[in-house]
Amino acid sequence: MDIELSSEDLAFRDEVRQFFKDNAYKPGDDYNQWRLDWFKKAREKGGWDVPKWPKDFGGPGWTPTQHYIWEQETARATLPWDMPFGVGMVAPIIMGYGNEEQQQRFLPDIRARTVNWCQGYSEPGAGSDLASLKTKAVLSEDGSHYVVNGQKIWTTAAHIADWMFCLTRTDDSGKKQEGITFLLIPMKQEGIEVKPIITLGGNHTVNTVYLTDVKVPVENRIGEEGKGWTYAKGLLQHERTGLAGLSRSLVALEGLKENARSVTRGNGTLMDDGSFRAKVAELEVDLLAAEYTELRSLASAQAGAAPGPESSILKLKGTEIQQRIQKLTMEAGGVFSAAWGDKSVGPKFARGGMAGYLASRAYTIYGGASEVQKDVIAKNVLGIKRSSK
């Protein structure tokens, strides 16, 4: 595996950095207008507004190495707010399994960021064991629409979403992975109730969604009836790689070191404390090891391989590393990390440290809990089969 950047890759990195510099947000500017202008200019660069989309659908057609460079640079730059569910999650499913009419109907608005999407996967009894979902979709007698009844939970951004891409059960007579159908459901309609869930960190990002006799036109079904599990698995592999957040963790780790150097400890700083420095060093070693796993994955992609079980390794280790960074940040802030609200107490970075730490508890749950990732790794990486007993 060659991890050295070529002269072409270095030139691309410089171009990306210059673009971010030229289009950076300036304090006082209208944020919403800057956001729209940024995506417009990124599109004019040749698909930079949808970097992971295939060239046939308007993406840039980058190599895996260029994608890696983009992830590294975006972790350091200030980019416009962007929801992942449309551009990064449902769009690839529509491209890969939707028909031409669905692609023409949904993709332009997704790319323009004029609609918000949410993901209707988890249920009260089907979180980590997603295939056990019970939300039922029954096809009408005339075959024109489905009637959907059920409950989804931990649905991020459902309260601001216009659409939900949803896994529903259309047949429960066979294996639980079979009989699952992928539907696109408008959120602003009768029969859909969204109730907020306030997380440990005091934030409202996730929700419970109740679906009662919700009508979904059959033309909103992606692919074949009963094949939704196949489509969902491909999406999850891409999602898990993104949730690893290794590029963001590299930047966050540097920020942690800088913050620790601002905290007085005896005659020096917290970074001079042997115990704390050892924790940071151990974290950095683990992060670099995970990054090499990501580089190996990129090398496989460069050779034409599709995302595979290595996405579970990245998700498992990447989210654990994110949690450890949050924990050490809270530790660096000391007693001041427990301060809530806008009142300035102690080091600036410490304010809300506890909220960040509590919120990070979810990192190893969403996108498939760590136990699920370990099961995938055991079966598909280590080749360990379940006992028949």
Question: Catalytic residues, which ones?
Answer: 239
Which one-letter DSSP state was computed for residue 381?
Answer: T
- Of 276, 304, 286, nearest to 244 (Cα)? 286
- Of 220, 192, 195, 191, nearest to 206 (Cα)? 195
- Of 144, 158, 109, 152, nearest to 221 (Cα)? 144
- Of 165, 167, 206, nearest to 362 (Cα)? 206
Q: How many CB atoms lie within 10 A of CB 193?
A: 12
DSSP alpha helices (H): ranges in 224-309? Answer: 228-244, 246-261, 274-302
119: exposed, middle or buried (C-beta count within 10 Å: 0-12, 13-18, 19+)? buried
Cβ atoms 332, 279 nearer than 8 A: no
How far is residue 214's CA from residue 217's CA, in Å, rounded to a whole number?
Answer: 10
Q: How many CB atoms lie within 10 A of CB 125?
A: 11
DSSP alpha helices (H): ranges in 303-369? Answer: 310-333, 353-359
The residues pairing with 149 across neighbouring beta strands, listed in sequence order, are: 136
Q: How is residue 155 written in tokens?
A: 């649905």
Cβ atoms 329, 349 nearer than 8 A: yes
Amino acid identity, residue 281? A
Q: How is residue 67 written in tokens?
A: 């994608």
Cβ atoms 117, 164 nearer than 8 A: yes
The residues pairing with 216 across neighbouring beta strands, listed in sequence order, are: 146
Q: How is residue 74 written in tokens?
A: 């975006």
User: Look-up: residue for tokens 């294996």?
Assistant: 175
Q: How is residue 363 written in tokens?
A: 């990192």
Q: Which helix (H) or strand (E) holds 152?
A: strand 145-152
How far is residue 38's CA from residue 48's CA, in Å, rounded to a whole number?
Answer: 10
